[in-house]
Structure 1
């Protein structure tokens, strides 16, 4: 299946430490380029995340951002350091004994002292496994988005390719009449001059002009390239580079057809071909 390189996915999950969010963004790129923005607790995951991305993608610039947003109030009881609390209360009592009219010390005042309590934390290994599973889900979601977008791109390319094929057929059909018109026009001009000409030499010149304006080879190569584009689309998979190369070949033949044109009809056909090829190329830039 043809895939686009442009996609986005986001997955979130709630952990004991807070809300874990994975965001993936991918855009077109010549090769696979992955960048990761991870919280400190998950930095050791990057090699495993990179391996998963490389196994799933072949091209594109992938930006991965993982955020861990702590809850305003996390569940679970606070763990009080009893020894530290006892030492703090003893010290506070000594200080109060030396003060005149000391202000009462509240429990909240005590909790503000560093090290008195700690919130229950998720084991780091468990958090890493949750993040890895969430990344896997986000990657699968992004793959689905890439496939949907890829199907749309393939349909657009297929539509333009059909128009290119039709333009080639119509150009080939009118060529004999155009060549005959060109021949008749030259003979009529010579007749208007009312001079004697060597008929053998005239025929040689007419043949030379016909060969110079002959575009059968260019049309044949256009057909061959069109068939190859169709086969590539039908095969699917990572084919963006192959299709881009074929667009260059199609454009080269369209340019040659334009340079050999001896009539407004073939010139118009060549211009139409180049427009359609460029439209295909723009879509192919996003195909993996």
Structure 2
């Protein structure tokens, strides 16, 4: 089945305490590249999420967004920096002694020293959050796969139509190609007869026609094009990632068409070459979106 690299999937999972949302977007990319955004406290699960995604995605740029609503994933704890507090008290005593001050240090005085109080964040991840997260991710991946498969089927149908048109043109050029030499030979006879008053030998015409036929022979290119079209069609039926292989085939087909255009020396074939290149350009655009 042909699979598109473009898609979107979303899913959520919840319990009495939290709700987990997973969103996954994929676009074209030469390789498989991930960007995962989730709460810092859940980063330990990043590799597990990526491993699960690899079961569904084999090529493309993948963006995974995970958010959590409900109970906080952290709890705060206040600690006192006793070393710093001792320094403050010591300095206050020195100031009192130096200036003969009578007032004593109070709790209120200490509370005003914000720097001695340190707030720490302690992870408070619910025990079943991992299972909820993976449930949401799996659901999002399933929805993503459905969208990518559906778009892939549409791409495959359109490419088959383009490929069929391309094959018909190749067949037409193959039928027309032999007449190119005959037309050249006829033109050559007329031209030489005009220049030599009909005194030119037939052997000379045959020799010139043979040289021309050798230069404009496109049978080899047409045979390779037939082979590429068949390979392209077979590749569309494979269950493995086929995007790179199809891209290579399009490049090879384009190379053969360019060679035909440069060798054919015939206006009718040149017209068909333009049409073939147009179809290949459409195929190339579609192939760029296939996994």
TM-score greater than 0.5 by the shorter chain: yes
**1:86 alignment counterpart:** none
Q: CA deviation at 1:122?
A: 8.0
**2:137 alignment counterpart:** 135
* C-alpha separation in 1, matches of 2:17 and 2:47: 23
Check the 8 A contact 1:13/1:20 in 2, yes or no.
yes
- Out of 181, 192, 195, the residue aligned to residue 194 of structure 2 is 192
Check the 8 A contact 1:41/1:124 in 2, yes or no.
no
* C-alpha separation in 1, matches of 2:44 and 2:171: 59
Check the 8 A contact 1:3/1:237 in 2, yes or no.
no
Q: Structure 2: state its 5+ residue gaps.
A: 73-122
**2:220 alignment counterpart:** 217
* C-alpha separation in 1, matches of 2:264 and 2:184: 12
What RMSD over aligned residues (CA atoms) do the two structures have, in Å?
1.8
> How do residues 1-288 of structure 1 correspond to structure 2 at under 5 angstroms?
1-70=1-70, 124-195=126-197, 196-288=199-291
* C-alpha separation in 2, matches of 1:236 and 1:272: 31
Figure out how many residues of one structure are paired with residues of the other and give that number.
240
Check the 8 A contact 1:21/1:66 in 2, yes or no.
yes
**2:98 alignment counterpart:** none
TM-score, normalised relative to structure 2: 0.78
* Secondary structure of the structure 2 residue equivalent to 1:234: coil
Q: Structure 1: state its 5+ residue gaps.
A: 75-120
Q: CA deviation at 1:198?
A: 4.2
* C-alpha separation in 2, matches of 1:207 and 1:177: 13
1:140-162 deviation line (CA, Å, top 9, x unaligned): 11111111111111111111000
* Secondary structure of the structure 2 residue equivalent to 1:160: helix
* C-alpha separation in 2, matches of 1:162 and 1:124: 57
1:157-192 deviation line (CA, Å, top 9, x unaligned): 111000000000111112223321121011111111
